[in-house]
Amino acid sequence: MPDEKLLFFIAKNARLHGTLSSSTATVAEHLGISQQSVSRKLRELRDKSFVELDSSPKGINVRLTQKGISVLKGRYFEMKNLFSSKATESIAGKVKTGIGEGAYYVSRPGYSKQFRELLGFKPFPGTLNLIIDQAALQSFLAGLEEVKLRGFKTKERSFGSITAFRVGVGKHRAAIIFPERSSHPKNEIEVIARVSLRAKMNLKESSKVKVSRC
C-alpha cells in the first residue's frame, strides 16, 4: 500500500493537524487490508517521520507530522496540475536503441494473448523506445483509457503486470506500454505495434517520432 493512501486516511479522519484515535483493526476494515499490514505500515510511516504514533488502552493515537503533511501537499499539487492541464493530442520523442529485453517480454505467450484480446493486435516482438518530455507525456496520457494486462508465472519465473495506452504512430495502430518491472528511466517509453515501426518508418537513432491519440 502506498504511503499516501494511509496518510490520506489519517488526514481525512483527523484533519491535517488533529489526532486519529482508533485501532488497527478498525483502520484495516476501512482500507480493506489486513490488521498486520496496517500495523507494519504505521511503523514505517513513523520511522520515516511522516507520523507520530502512540499506543493507548483503546488502540492507537496517530498524528501527521509536518513532513507527512508535505507529502500530501505534494501529491495534491501534482494531481491538480494533471487535471487542470489541457490534454495534448500528440507528443514527439526521439528514438533510442534499447537493450533488447522488450522483444523477450512482448513475445511471452502470457502477454501476447492479452495484447490480442485487449489491444486488438499481436505485437511485433520488439519495442520502439522513445525519449519523451515527462510533463508532455503526462498531459498526453491524461484522459486516455488505461488497459491493464495481468502478470503471470511460469515454471522459470514470474512476470509483472503491464499498463498500456492505445495510440497511433504514423498510420500504424500502436500502444505505449509501462511494465510494472522496468529498468528504463521515467523519460523513456516503449511503444509496440503489429509491425516493426523502426523498419517500416525507416527510423534511426535520434529520429523524431510523433505519437498521436487514436
Same-domain check for residues 99 and 153: yes
pTM of the model: 0.61
Same-domain check for residues 59 and 95: no
Chosen domain end from 83, 102, 117: 83
pLDDT at position 86: 63
Most confident stretch, 86-90, 174-178, 183-187 = 174-178
Could you give the 3-state DSSP secondary structure of residue 193? strand
In this prediction, residue 78 has a pLDDT band, given cuts at 50, 70 and 90, of: confident
| Structural domain containing residue 70 | 3-83
Structural domains in the chain (count): 2
> Average pLDDT over the chain, rounded to whole?
90
| Per-residue pLDDT reduced to its tens digit, 122-177 | 999 999 999 999 888 988 988 788 999 999 999 888 998 999 999 999 999 999 99
| Per-residue pLDDT reduced to its tens digit, 49-60 | 999 999 888 899
Beta bridge partners of 156: none
For residue 79, the domain's CATH number is 1.10.10.10
φ and ψ at 42, to 5 degrees? -65, -40
For residue 204, the domain's CATH number is 2.40.30.30
Looking at residue 121, what DSSP letter applies? S
Query: CB of 124 within 8 A of CB of 195?
Result: yes
pLDDT at position 119: 94
Same-domain check for residues 45 and 108: no
Same-domain check for residues 55 and 139: no
| Per-residue pLDDT reduced to its tens digit, 30-48 | 888 899 999 999 999 999 9
For residue 14, give every residue at least 6 positions away whose Cβ sits within 8 Å of its Cβ, in sequence order, or none. 20, 62, 63, 64
Same-domain check for residues 156 and 78: no
